Structure 1
């Protein structure tokens, strides 16, 4: 019994050291563009009956994301939504530290950042078209955990971004007069 316990402890300790090393020595290329070679990437779009200005106002107000998007918890942006500023938030059980890389009012936003075993790049564009705004989101994810669980992350990312877009549409259109 002691041998089994000792063997189990050695295996668990080895795994903890391996995961610690993977986290410590992982490096990711920060970019304004998604990583086309990442193991997980998704591009989605939605039409929203509102202006790009309203979409910008909602999306750049990070501290209030959780009031309309339940997949986000505890978002905190100190300062304004501008390139170089960072914010912290939680999603899917992960704590994420993101840095804004693009902040073009009424047109484009983007951020990137690490979470446990992963690194993501998010890019959003807002294009006005005949009484509505087309919102596009592109995201890539990479990292040792993403590679290990590629199918789960791919499915989760697609589902998460669909929910995010639908929640954004509801929030943007809820007080609109049609």
Structure 2
């Protein structure tokens, strides 16, 4: 009975963290970090037990996609699982900026680690024993913006049960990208 309780606890923690960190659908856990990342760029933890990566082509201008993704306080208007977001640091997102999320009854605090305007955004932090790093890159194309996201999770709750956190993270990032695509294309009128 005790093992069942521990498994349920790990699944609840995993679900909460996925929703709070807004994570994605895995293409491959052993795929290297996106080509073109600079030497000083924040990267996910490649040795983490849970890694998710996904791309989507958004048919909207880069400025629209970037504005939606970095306007964290308006995230609840297009991300149904996010109840509230409060930005503790005024102005544009930049390294050290902090924002707090409320989702599924949980309060999460994220710290921006990199903000390269229109190109790259990374945040992360620990939550209930799981260390997460979430990286976004934005690449203009003739058809819109290729949005790539990847996130790693490490820590005892993830190591104890990799399958549930992996599935939760895959699902969360998949939905995040779909919601971002719909919002950006709607604003762009495409």
Calculate the TM-score normalised by the size of structure 2. 0.74
User: Does the 8 Å CA contact 1:84/1:99 hold for their aligned counterparts?
Assistant: yes
- Picking from 104, 122, 130, the partner of 2:116 is 104
Count the aligned residue pairs.
150
1:135 match: 147
CA RMSD of aligned residues (A): 1.8
More helix by share: 1
1:41 match: 51
2:62 match: 52
User: Does the 8 Å CA contact 1:51/1:131 hold for their aligned counterparts?
Assistant: no
2:182 match: 170
Given the superposition, is the C-alpha separation of residues 43 and 93 from structure 1 closer, same or farther in structure 2, using an over 3 Å criterion? farther
Given the superposition, is the C-alpha separation of residues 39 and 94 from structure 1 closer, same or farther in structure 2, using an over 3 Å criterion? farther
Q: Residue 149 of structure 1: CA displacement?
A: 2.1
User: Does the 8 Å CA contact 1:95/1:115 hold for their aligned counterparts?
Assistant: no
Q: Residue 89 of structure 1: CA displacement?
A: 1.0
User: Does the 8 Å CA contact 2:61/2:188 hold for their aligned counterparts?
Assistant: no
User: Does the 8 Å CA contact 1:90/1:96 hold for their aligned counterparts?
Assistant: yes
Q: 2:105 & 2:131 partners in 1: Cα distance?
A: 15
1:151 match: 163
- Residue 125 (structure 1) aligned with residue 142 (structure 2): no
Q: Looking at CA atoms only, which structure, 1 or 2, has the larger radius of gyration?
A: 1
Q: Residue 71 of structure 1: CA displacement?
A: 2.1
Q: Residue 92 of structure 1: CA displacement?
A: 5.2
Task: Name which structure has the greater RCO, CA cutoff 8 Å, separation 6+.
Answer: 2
Q: Secondary structure at the match of 1:175?
A: helix
Calculate the TM-score normalised by the size of structure 1. 0.78
User: Does the 8 Å CA contact 1:127/1:133 hold for their aligned counterparts?
Assistant: yes
**Runs of 4+ residues over 6 Å off in structure 1:** none
1:22 match: none
Q: Unmatched 5+ residue regions in structure 1?
A: 1-10, 16-30
